[in-house]
Amino acid sequence: MRRLVALILTLLAAGCADLLVGPDAATDPPAMLEQVWRDVDRHYSFFAIKDVNWDSLHTVYSGKVGPAASPAHLATAIGSLLMALKDYHANLWTPFGAWQYFGPAGRTAVFSEFVVQDRYLTDWSASPYGNLRFGHLAPDIGYIRIPTFDGSSFGPDMDVALRRLGGVRALVVDVRGNGGGSNRNALDVAARFVTGEHVYAYVRFRSGPARGDFTPPHAEAVHWAGALYTGRAIVLANRGTYSAAEMFVLMMRTVPGVTVVGDSTGGAGGNPLTRELPNGWTYRFSQTITSAPDGTTFEGTGLAPDLWVPGNNVALMGGSDITLDSALAVARRALP
């Protein structure tokens, strides 16, 4: 018995994890740069769309990162490498900063929640789980603001908002500046506007080592759930509308009578794959291609609105949200 106990303790105490599963990967800077480059090469989905020579970038950046490179220098190199993809979902997080691409220079996303609240709404409430803010633009016109699709319980929040808006005949749903979050939350909101099944997009995953290897397109659909809103719906979007918020725009475009007002969305049409480096830094990049039902992709370009009324900073500073003004005009035209 003593021998058995000794054997067990010896095996456990040996902590033979290194022997059994191997040590952590090397943390030398060139190896970590190589890991990121190889991961992107193996899993990134938009090589055919982006104007980027990934092989050439390997040559450029591997020459910049030697074994003695400082962590800050390595972070800058990896961050710059990922930024070359010009992809909202290509990110790096390190103690030295975060890298994220927000579109080409000159793009603006003009919006002020304060102006909407102060100059347009007659009342203003937050939903029980804090995901939505809502009120009335006019007795028959409701307004729901969704600043992000991060979080949970969007469905119950929508049910409460629709009930408390009291059967408005037109509803403005504002996702301007919404940087995304979970598609599930976007589905939970859109589910209040549809009957039956609405296919809103097709998704393909990168599936092999060749840059053209993809899974077959998979139809993405939204189904009715919860309280059903049957009045006129207007969606507000702009260049700050990204990712899951763009999925929401795609979902809402399938609803008859919905009008999208504002500017084109940011253009982040990929589901991100998140990875770690041996030093604990995290990075991610797109692993899917999302297409609209007509087959068009919007990565980098965004989804065009039905009514193009980009925000105007000068007007906004004067207390006027011209995008919302246009949405109100659309809503009033729709009401008898």
For the chain, the distance separating the N- and C-terminal CA atoms, rounded to the nearest angstrom, is: 89
Asked if 280 touches another protein (CB under 8 A), the answer is yes
Nearer to another protein (CB atom), residue 208 or residue 318: 208
Measured CA to CA, the distance from residue 12 to residue 14 in angstroms comes to: 5
Stretch that binds another protein, among 56-64, 112-120, 163-171, 282-290 (CB under 8 A): 282-290
Nearest alpha-carbon partner for 222 in 244, 239, 201, 208? 201
Nearer to another protein (CB atom), residue 42 or residue 107: 42
Stretch that binds another protein, among 3-11, 123-131, 224-232, 325-333 (CB under 8 A): 3-11
Site residues for another protein, 24-53, by CB under 8 A, read 24-25, 35, 42
Stretch that binds another protein, among 120-128, 280-288, 290-298, 328-336 (CB under 8 A): 280-288
| Cβ contact 88:266 at 8 Å | yes
Stretch that binds another protein, among 16-24, 55-63, 76-84, 248-256 (CB under 8 A): 16-24
Measured CA to CA, the distance from residue 226 to residue 248 in angstroms comes to: 17
Site residues for another protein, 193-222, by CB under 8 A, read 203, 205, 209, 215, 218
| Cβ contact 137:174 at 8 Å | no
- Enumerate the β-bridge partners of residue 142: 136, 171
DSSP 305: P
Nearer to another protein (CB atom), residue 25 or residue 317: 25
Site residues for another protein, 102-131, by CB under 8 A, read none
Nearest alpha-carbon partner for 222 in 241, 257, 247? 247
| Percent helix, strand and coil across the chain, each to the nearest 5 | 30, 20, 45
Report the DSSP pairing between strands 272-276 and 282-286.
antiparallel
Q: How far is the CB of 321 from another protein (least distance, A)?
A: 28
Residues in contact with another protein, counted by CB under 8 A, come to a total of 38
Q: Which residues bind another protein (CB under 8 A)?
A: 1, 4-5, 7-8, 11-12, 16-18, 20-25, 35, 42, 93, 98, 150, 203, 205, 209, 215, 218, 271, 273-280, 282, 284, 288
